[in-house]
């Protein structure tokens, strides 16, 4: 039994049914608010707890906001979360439930210039008013991002050869790379996975560029649309340094991997949380990751975060009366 603020971190690691002990899943979906962002939010908000905590203005695609809202409630911090207008409702509901405000901004996290302008606005506003800006990126909140590096420490005992990481802004990748470096494990290959509609890091790697590729966010995968260079160029540097690969996927490949996790592994991941598995399957099929080489895929967020992606399956049939049950059960009488 471990004790933390709300129970963040020390998430389970489970092995794959289909790939056995070659492949492990790091279940970040089992953090208190359902994503790895709790590892960031806990120190970010705890650092502000004081007799008179400031107001926090944060940006988020949803998971950071939900994480910050829980810790903000715990520490009595007033919070407003700026997010894109198409964030999944299930990510926003807990933000409101914890008493924080959501500010939906059109085209945020899609249009690069508009997104940069919004960040500048918040920066100026917080400087002027004494509010604090929180963004889950080393560029803005480096101390709290160190909380995410604990993922590497927790994986060290598995001694993986590959760790497959979904990349949005690049903060998660950077944090894990720093964690492995701090643990003296610089030979773990950390692979960066992105959808084609947001391949700022993985796309740059494939073109052998030294700086990230800011581009309009054109993916439907919530959390992986970050059209700016937050920590992307930093992540790209680590990607070259550790000898990892940039892996670019179509959205459809990610949804397919999400369904395979549901069907075969028994894991309920949001689409972004399934992206690493999609990339592992692809890399293994192409011989880039070999049988017997231990890999870890990060399941970064729980399936409930994106209800629409769950509902793509058959839904429950209309209610029946108790008298009709035996008839309905007949199809199970093989």
Structural contact between residues 164 and 295, judged by C-beta atoms closer than 8 angstroms = yes
**Contact positions with a copy of itself (CB under 8 A) in 65-84:** 70-75, 78, 80, 82
Could you tell me which stretch among 183-191, 215-223, 273-281, 310-318 binds a copy of itself (CB under 8 A)? Answer: 310-318
Cα–Cα distance for residue pair 97/70, rounded to 1 Å: 9
List Cβ neighbours of 124 (8 Å cut-off, separation of 6 or more).
Answer: none
Give the count of alpha carbons within 13 A of 62, CB side only. 26
| C-beta closer to a copy of itself: residue 135 or 235 | 135
Site track 212-231 with a copy of itself (rule: CB under 8 A), x = hit: --------------------
Site track 115-154 with a copy of itself (rule: CB under 8 A), x = hit: --xx--xx--x--xx-x----------------------x
Q: What is the DSSP letter of 286?
A: T
Q: Is 146 exposed, middle or buried (0-12, 13-18, 19+ CB in 10 A)?
A: middle
Q: Does 20 bind a copy of itself (CB under 8 A)?
A: no
Q: Is 131 exposed, middle or buried (0-12, 13-18, 19+ CB in 10 A)?
A: middle
| C-beta closer to a copy of itself: residue 7 or 237 | 7
Q: Does 159 bind a copy of itself (CB under 8 A)?
A: no
List Cβ neighbours of 327 (8 Å cut-off, separation of 6 or more).
Answer: none
Sign of CA dihedral 222, 232, 117, 218: negative
Structural contact between residues 45 and 35, judged by C-beta atoms closer than 8 angstroms = no
Q: Does 267 bind a copy of itself (CB under 8 A)?
A: yes
**Contact positions with a copy of itself (CB under 8 A) in 24-53:** 27, 29-34
Cβ 307 to a copy of itself shortest distance, Å: 6
Contact residue for a copy of itself among 1, 159, 285, 291 (CB under 8 A): 1
Cβ 212 to a copy of itself shortest distance, Å: 22
| C-beta closer to a copy of itself: residue 102 or 232 | 102
CA 117 to chain centre: 24
Cβ 23 to a copy of itself shortest distance, Å: 13
Cβ 92 to a copy of itself shortest distance, Å: 5
**Contact positions with a copy of itself (CB under 8 A) in 271-290:** none
Cα–Cα distance for residue pair 11/302, rounded to 1 Å: 13
| C-beta closer to a copy of itself: residue 90 or 144 | 90
Cα–Cα distance for residue pair 126/128, rounded to 1 Å: 5
Q: Does 55 bind a copy of itself (CB under 8 A)?
A: yes
Q: Does 92 bind a copy of itself (CB under 8 A)?
A: yes
């Amino acid at each position: 039994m471990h004790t933390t603020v709300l129970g963040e971190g020390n998430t389970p690691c489970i092995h794959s049914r289909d790939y056995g002990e070659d492949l492990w899943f790091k279940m970040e979906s089992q953090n208190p608010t359902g994503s790895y962002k709790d590892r960031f939010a806990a120190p970010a908000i705890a650092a502000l707890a004081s007799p008179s905590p400031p107001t926090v203005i944060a940006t988020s695609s949803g998971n950071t906001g939900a994480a910050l809202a829980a810790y903000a409630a715990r520490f009595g911090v007033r919070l407003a979360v700026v997010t894109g207008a198409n964030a999944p409702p299930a990510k926003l509901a807990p933000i409101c439930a914890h008493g924080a405000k959501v500010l939906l901004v059109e085209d945020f996290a899609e249009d690069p210039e508009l997104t940069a302008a919004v960040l500048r606005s918040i920066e100026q506003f917080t400087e002027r008013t004494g509010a604090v800006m929180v963004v889950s990126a080393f560029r803005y909140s480096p101390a709290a991002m160190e909380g995410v590096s604990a993922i590497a420490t927790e994986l060290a005992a598995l001694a993986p050869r590959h760790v497959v990481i979904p990349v949005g802004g690049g903060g998660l990748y950077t944090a894990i790379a720093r964690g492995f470096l701090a643990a003296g494990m610089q030979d773990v290959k950390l692979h960066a996975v992105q959808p084609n509609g947001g391949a700022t890091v993985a796309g740059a790697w494939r073109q052998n560029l030294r700086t990230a590729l800011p581009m309009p966010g054109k993916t439907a995968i919530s959390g992986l649309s970050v059209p700016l260079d937050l920590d992307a160029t930093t992540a790209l540097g680590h990607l070259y340094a550790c000898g990892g690969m940039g892996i670019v996927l179509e959205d459809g490949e990610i949804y397919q991997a999400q369904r395979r996790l549901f069907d075969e592994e028994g894991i309920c991941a949001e689409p972004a949380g399934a992206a690493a598995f999609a990339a592992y399957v692809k890399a293994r099929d192409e011989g880039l990751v070999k049988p017997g080489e231990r890999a870890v895929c990060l399941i970064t967020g729980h399936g409930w975060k994106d209800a629409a992606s769950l509902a793509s399956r058959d839904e429950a049939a209309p209610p029946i009366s108790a008298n009709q049950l035996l008839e309905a059960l007949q199809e199970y009488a093989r």
